[in-house]
Amino acid sequence: VVEGLALLDLGVSPYSGAIFHETPLIIYLFHFLIEYAELVFMITDVLTAVALYLAIQDFNKVVFKKQKLLIELDKYAPDVAELIRTPMEMHYIPLKVALFYLLNPYTVMSCVAKSTCTINNTVIAFFILATIKGSAFLSAVFLALATYQSLYPLTLFAPALLYLLQRQFIPVKLKSKSFWLYTMQYAALYLCSLVVIICLSFFLLNSWDFIPSVYGFILSVPDLTPNIGLFWYFFAEMFEHFSLFFVCVFQINVFFYTIPLAVKLKEHPVFFMFVQIAIISIFKSYPTVGDIALYMAFLPVWSHLYRFLRNIFILSCVLIVCSLLFPVLWHLWIYAGSANSNFYYAITLTFNIGQILLVSDYFYAFLRREYYLTHGLYLTREDGTEAMLVLK
Amino acid sequence: VDKAWKELSNILSGIFCASLNFIDSTNTVTPTASFKPLGLTNGTDHRLLRYAVLPREIVCTENLTPWKKLLPCGSKAGLAVLLKAERLFHSSYHSQAVHIRPICRDASCLAVSWELRQTLTVVFETFSSGQGKKDWSLFKMFSRTLTEACPLASQSKIYVDVSAKDKEKELLEVTPSPTAVHEAIVQGEKRTYAVYDLLSPSLFNTSRSLNVQLKWKRPQDSLELSVPVLHAQRYVSGYGLQTGEISTLIYNTHPYRAFPVILLETVPWYLRLYVHTLTIITKGKENKPSYIHYQPAQDRRRPHLLEMLIQLPANSVTKITIQFERALLKWTEYTPDPNHGFYVSPSVLSALVPSVIAMKDADMEQSPLFTTLFPSSDGSSYFVRLYTEPLLVNLPTPDFSMPYNVICLTCTVVAVCYGSFYNLLTRTFHVEEPTRGGLAKRLANIIRKFRGVPPL
């Protein structure tokens, strides 16, 4: 960002080079705030935590209401008393969420490094707050801002839509007219705000240069600086012939889980949002630890799933060990020269597998709990012996 | 213009057997102020100008041979007889150049013709090979002597610098005696040249061959070379393979005059310059350039171009530093020996250096060749173009033996995600039906019955 500002001062378009890839609104924001940069980043982190706190507070109320409704409707099996969530246990969850975000070492690292990822996180947190509060307009505006900054939050359109429909008690049926009406309204709000923001950026810098620099850069991955993701080494070692094909495959991979997840999780849009944010942070073209901090902040919300998680100990060990090994192997490769790029790449692979398995573990536990809620906790077979559950 | 540039570089590469065809958009820049076209020109639109450097290529015998072929007599007669490859490349410094510019055909300037000027610069080190004495002769340097001048040449001269520092004429002696003595002010100093005119018939009267020799009368106790008024050096600092800093030091040793200098730096795209870290410090204080033109690089398309006009105060050292970050390239973009490093082309300093001694207007008609070697625009300053050293920078390398493995491993990770999500999305929970067990289970049950252990 500082480089972009220096180029702007020299009279050269910041996007004529290949160093600067942030959006024009960020340039103008930092034009005024560059002296107080540390303070700005601390404040954005605090804002994110506050937004998450308020959002989860409201979400807990919604969850409790829904649970009460389902109990009255007798949808739950008789012996699931231990799975029902009580207000007592849910009281401290919002505080835990805020603390999880603020005290996460990844968040602290992003703040110290003054990475613009924290601003991204703030916008997404406000988007979640607006969605859970039920305001379609604000939620569309924040989602447009988030998409404007990095392309991937586009996929969060689906969970937000599902949540707002649920809130308005509109059932999700393809033939229902009110469903399509609401969808069109929300999509129109979102697209209009996106167009307004893009045109505003055009008028700020008087050129469309920023579109290939920002979005073309995210989509075509030209810069191969090593990061914690999977893309960089893959494209550094790719045969020239296939690079376009694999770029397309990797980008489709991020967007592709939205529809199946929407079909499966249409009753639970907030969990869908969590899984979607996790998938974005793992598979985006330039991931940073700030993105990981955002979805990890949600983990206390699903703390009631703890008894169904299968591999949580191993996964937390893998994640902690990999985070510790990252800087060590980076130093060995770049500064000491005694290790290869393969060492760092291996840790990248392990770290990403750890994250993927963490998300899928939570997903498994969530689905399993739903099954137990509707079918009873102590399952017996026809002959009375204890039954096992498998996925078939 | 770019098409013509590409054609030109390819044609030159073919003519001179040099790898000039590697010049493409990744090392060509369009400087705005450093270069002006010589000779007759209509306009000075800098957008039509192209400048490229290939620091990795070296000059060798294959480049010398076609260069010699361009001379009118080739290497058969005249001064070019001396240019034999095995002696020329046995030297400390070797440089060949070809300059082409349009000039007036005659005094009335009605027609324009093209002037081709070829220069060859060689620095011999006779001190180490000449038994500790600094005497030299044409035979010792080139292992042959001149026999005749080129018949096609209108002028053929040898100039030997016999300037004496302490005005003692007996310090050195040249044999045979020169046909004339020429005095000129070159680069701010008064110098005397002994001239041998090969076309004058008196030169070859006494002997068939001409071997110019220079002998020092008295051994030199200490030789003080005069420090040039403007000189520069450049180096890379920093540790590790992630960041670094390019520093350029420019020295102005003139005792009382300050003058501006234009610095042109071309840095390849894979060293990403951060222009907000550019600092220019002179005598401990910051020096702001009066003109900056910066064009940032585009990945794989264009190098960085930085041009600055800096005022150098008298008797000072100016330090220009800029930090950069090293990029990771795709594995096919590395040279076959990637750990050798990548070259950064030299930066160009152009300046009008004020001379210590006032110069008279040189006589163009009498010695046109001499003045093209040492041109001066007016009496008080002369034009100097300096090139700094090229730099060698290491980039982080991926492991080149791993493309297949990397593709497999990364796709495995993606498939792990896809697989677990597919399972969770498309399958539902069912109570497990007890099965009768496959063959293995039945066999195990039979063995257990024999052992007396309860069956599975």
Amino acid sitting at position B128: S
Instruction: Please give the residue that has the higher pLDDT: either A46 or A82.
Output: A46
Query: What pTM did the predictor assign?
Result: 0.82
* Residue B272 touches partner A, C-beta closer than 8 Å: yes
What are the two backbone dihedrals, phi and then psi, of residue A167, each rounded to the nearest 5 degrees? -65, -35
Count the neighbouring beta carbons within 10 Å of the beta carbon of residue B446: 10
- Residue A382, chain B, CB below 8 Å: the answer is no
Minimal Cα–Cα distance from A138 to chain B, Å? 31
Give B267's contacts in chain A (Cβ within 8 Å).
none
Residue A363 sits at the chain B interface (C-beta within 8 Å): yes
User: Residue A259: its chain B contacts at CB < 8 A?
Assistant: none
Instruction: Inspect the interface and report whether the beta carbons of B272 and A335 lie closer than 8 Å.
Output: no
Please tell me the predicted confidence (pLDDT) of residue A274. Answer: 92
pLDDT at A201: 85
d(CA B213, CA B136): 6
A134 touches chain B (CB under 8 A): no
**Chain A within 8 Å of B402 (Cβ-Cβ)?**
yes
CB of B396 within 8 Å of a chain A CB? The answer is: yes
Rounded to a whole number of angstroms, the distance from the CA of A88 to the nearest CA of chain B is 30
Give the pLDDT mean for A314-328. Answer: 91
The pLDDT of residue B359 is above 60? no
A368 in contact with B at a CB cutoff of 8 Å? yes
Contact yes or no for A282 and B417 at CB 8 A: yes
The mean pLDDT of chain A is 84
pLDDT in tens, A4-44: 667 666 666 666 666 777 777 777 788 777 778 788 888 98
How would DSSP label each residue in B25-62?
TTTEE--SSS----SS-S---GGG--EE--TT----HH
Give the contacts of B349 (CB within 8 A, at least 6 positions apart).
B230, B232, B250, B261, B262, B263, B264, B384, B385, B386, B387, B388
Cβ atoms B21, B9 nearer than 8 A: yes
pLDDT value at B169 more than 80: no
pLDDT, position B42: 64
From first CA to last CA, the distance across chain B in angstroms is: 84
Mean pLDDT, rounded, for A218-233: 81
Q: What pLDDT is attached to residue A178?
A: 81
> Tokens at residue B433, please?
């039906």
Is the Cβ of B431 closer than 8 Å to some Cβ of chain A? Answer: yes
Helix (H, G, I), strand (E, B) or coil at B387: strand
Which tens digit of pLDDT belongs to each residue from A234-290? 888 888 888 889 889 888 988 989 999 988 888 888 899 999 999 998 988 888 888
- For residue A277, which of A264, A290, A267 has the smallest C-alpha distance? A290
- Asked if A341 has any chain B CB less than 8 Å from its own CB, the reply is yes
Identify which of A223, A334, A371 has the shortest CB distance to residue B242.
A334
Reduce the DSSP state of residue B437 to 3 states and report it: coil
pLDDT at B409 (0 to 100): 92
> Is A18's CB within 8 Å of B329's CB?
no
Backbone angles phi, psi at A54, to 5 degrees: -65, -40
Check residue B132 and give its pLDDT: 63
pLDDT for A151 equals 85
- pLDDT for res A142: 92
pLDDT higher than 90, residue A321: yes
Closest by Cα among B196, B172, B184, B180 to B82: B196
Burial of residue A243 (CB within 10 Å: 0-12, 13-18, 19+) is middle
Q: What's the pLDDT score for residue A143?
A: 92
Q: Does A6 sit within 8 Å of B292, measured CB to CB?
A: no
In this prediction, residue A218 carries a pLDDT of: 81
Q: Is residue A356 part of a domain?
A: no
Residue A5 lies in a domain: no
Out of A7, A225, A363, name the one closest to residue B424 (CB): A363
Tokens at B319, concatenated: 């330090």
Contact between chains at A235 and B330 (C-beta distance less than 8 A) = yes
Give CA–CA dist B451/A122, Å, rounded. 66
* Boundaries of domain holding A155: 35-318
Higher pLDDT, residue B96 or B356: B96
Contact residues, chain B, for A232 at CB < 8 Å = 328
Choose among B240, B328, B433: nearest Cβ to A236: B328
A 10 A CB-CB count for B456 gives 10
Closest chain B residue by Cα to residue A382:
B433
- Predicted local confidence at residue B365, as pLDDT: 45
Average pLDDT over residues B393-397: 88
Q: Express as a percent the part of chain A with pLDDT over 90.
A: 18
Cα–Cα distance measured from residue B379 to residue B188, given in angstroms and rounded to the nearest whole number: 10
Close Cβ partners of B205 (under 8 Å, ≥ 6 residues apart) = none
Q: Is the pLDDT of residue B48 over 60?
A: yes
How is B142-158 classified by DSSP, letter by letter?
Answer: HSS-B----TT-S--EE
Note whether B174 and B213 are within 8 A (CB).
Answer: yes
Contact: B410, A233; criterion CB under 8 Å:
yes
Q: Quick check: helix, strand or coil at residue B376?
A: strand
Q: Is residue A167 part of a domain?
A: yes
Name the nearest CA neighbour of B211 among B270, B144, B310, B166. B144
Residue A390 within any structural domain of the chain: no
Sheet holding B376-378, edge to edge: B291-295, B304-312, B259-267, B348-354, B381-387, B376-378
Determine the length of chain B: 456
8 A C-beta contact, residue A270 and residue A58:
no
Contact B410 A389 (CB under 8 A): no
Please check the confidence at residue A377 and state whether its pLDDT lies above 80.
no
A113 within some domain: yes
Give the rounded distance of the alpha carbon of B3 from its chain centre: 24
Quick one: tokens of B218?
């008295």
In the block, residue with structure tokens 């005792």: B255
Taking 80 as the threshold, does the pLDDT of residue B183 lie above it? no
Whether residue A372 lies inside any domain: the answer is no
Distance in angstroms (rounded) separating the CA atoms of residues B174 and B137: 9
Looking at residue B166, what DSSP letter applies?
Answer: T
Spatial distance between the Cα atoms of B16 and B25, rounded to a whole number of angstroms: 21
Q: For B202-213, give the secondary structure using H, E and C.
A: CCCCCCCCECCE
Given a cut of 90, whether residue A318 has pLDDT beyond it is: yes
Number of domains chain A is built from: 1
3-class DSSP assignment, residue A121:
helix
Span B146-162, pLDDT tens digits = 877 788 877 788 888 77
Given a cut of 80, whether residue B38 has pLDDT beyond it is no
Is the model's pLDDT at B51 over the cut of 70?
yes
> Touching check for A253 and chain B: CB below 8 Å?
yes
The answer to whether position A14 is within a domain reads no
Axis crossing angle, helix A136-149 with helix A177-205, rounded to the nearest 10: 50
Give the per-residue pLDDT at B234.
92
Given an 8 Å threshold on Cβ–Cβ distance, is A335 in contact with B399? no
Q: Quote the pLDDT of residue A144.
A: 92
Query: Does the distance separating the beta carbons of A387 and B431 come in below 8 Å?
Result: yes
If pLDDT is split at 50, 70 and 90, which confidence band does A122 have?
Answer: very high
* B319 — pLDDT class (breaks 50, 70, 90): very high
Which tens digits make up the pLDDT trace of B106-145? 777 777 788 888 888 888 877 666 566 677 778 878 888 8
CB atoms A364 and B424 under 8 Å: yes
Residue A141 within a domain = yes
Average pLDDT over residues B253-268: 88
Asked if B417 has any chain A CB less than 8 Å from its own CB, the reply is yes
| Digit-coded pLDDT (tens) for B54-105 | 888 888 888 888 888 888 887 777 777 788 888 888 888 888 888 888 877 7
Low-confidence winner among B276-285, B309-318, B373-382 (lowest mean pLDDT): B373-382
Q: Do the Cβ atoms of A12 and B295 come within 8 Å?
A: yes
Test B402 with A342 for CB contact under 8 angstroms.
Answer: yes
Put simply, whether B339 touches A (Cβ < 8 Å) is no
Both structure tokens of B227: 């420090």
A-B contacts (CB, under 8 Å): 158
CA distance B348 to B306: 11
Q: How many CB atoms lie within 10 A of CB A209?
A: 15
Rounded Cα distance, B147 and B334, in Å: 50
Q: Which of B36-73 are b and which e, b meaning 16 or more Cβ less than 10 Å from the residue's Cβ?
A: eeeeeeeeeeeeebbbbbbbeeeeeeebbeebbeebeb
B-chain residues near A16 (CB < 8 A)? 295-296, 298
Count of other CB atoms within 10 angstroms of residue B424: 21
